[in-house]
Chains A and B, each alone.
Chain A
């Protein structure tokens, strides 16, 4: 049962990722990416990370994808990927290179046959466990995150300002 659920959700994630990469239309790509992020949120839930599953839905599928769709609407893309591609041979080189990367990754992952983690009691992934870490051991990085977000906001305002 757990296996069936995993394979269904994993197939959804892979298919939507392929849709993002292969479809020409950027809006379709954004919608495929939302499906992909949602299925990864489901996988977080099956891994016992409830807090991250909800954060994924709110932060990624909510905030970040709204930003993407908004940028796509503002820029009205779609014309730059029609027409002849003078660098097509170089781009097609990505397929063997990607296959090589995939083989390497699988080689690294497949080397550890340990797999003994299944009987470890799953660490609580609820808000309580995460908050306990964020406000004790990772307190300084957590505060730095707020500085980073503030700096990003100021930078975006500066970049998007109209030149006078």
Chain B
């Protein structure tokens, strides 16, 4: 009596879509960052679900690496956001057009 994997993958699709919408509709870079974390977690959930279907723990090892990379990414990204805030005194992504030609 186990819940089939497709339910988990469907839930992961729902969470991934919410994360994509969050990245697009929000103006605060911190919330956009948190939505990216949401997408990473949705992908992780799908990986674990597929791993159970295949029947070996390789998917879980991949999720472990994703977690490590996400930790590094969050640290660097938040440092960049803090630096931008220190330079510009504002925190809206609409103001950050410095790299647009």
Chain A interfacial positions (CB closer than 8 Å to B) = 1-3, 6, 10, 13-14, 17-18, 20-21, 26, 29-30, 33, 36-37, 40, 43-44, 46-49, 51-52, 55-56, 59-60, 63-64, 67-68, 71-72, 74-75, 77, 80-81, 85-87, 91-95, 97-99, 101-102, 105-106, 109-110, 112, 115, 117-118, 120-125, 129-130, 133-134, 137-138, 141-142, 145, 148-149, 151-153, 155-156, 159-160
Contacts and interface: CB of A to CB of B under 8 A. Distances in A.
Interface of B: 1-11, 13-22, 24-28, 30-31, 33-35, 37-38, 41, 44-45, 48-49, 51-58, 60-61, 63-65, 67-76, 78-83, 85, 90-92, 94
Given A118-B4, A125-B60, A40 B28 contact: no
Given A21-B22, A26-B28, A6 B58 contact: no
B82 A80 contact: no
A100 to B, nearest CB: 10
Contact of B82 (A48, A75, A155): A75
Contacts of B64: 52, 55, 130, 134
A30 B70 CA distance: 16
A93 B24 CA distance: 9
Contacts of A60: 37, 41, 67, 70
Closest 8 pairs (CB-CB, A-B) = A117-B53, A152-B72, A94-B24, A80-B92, A21-B22, A105-B13, A159-B79, A120-B55
Contact of B76 (A110, A124, A155): A155
Nearest to A4: B3
Chain B residues touching A, majority SS: helix
Contacts of B53: 117, 120
Chain A residues touching B, majority SS: helix
A68 B78 contact: yes
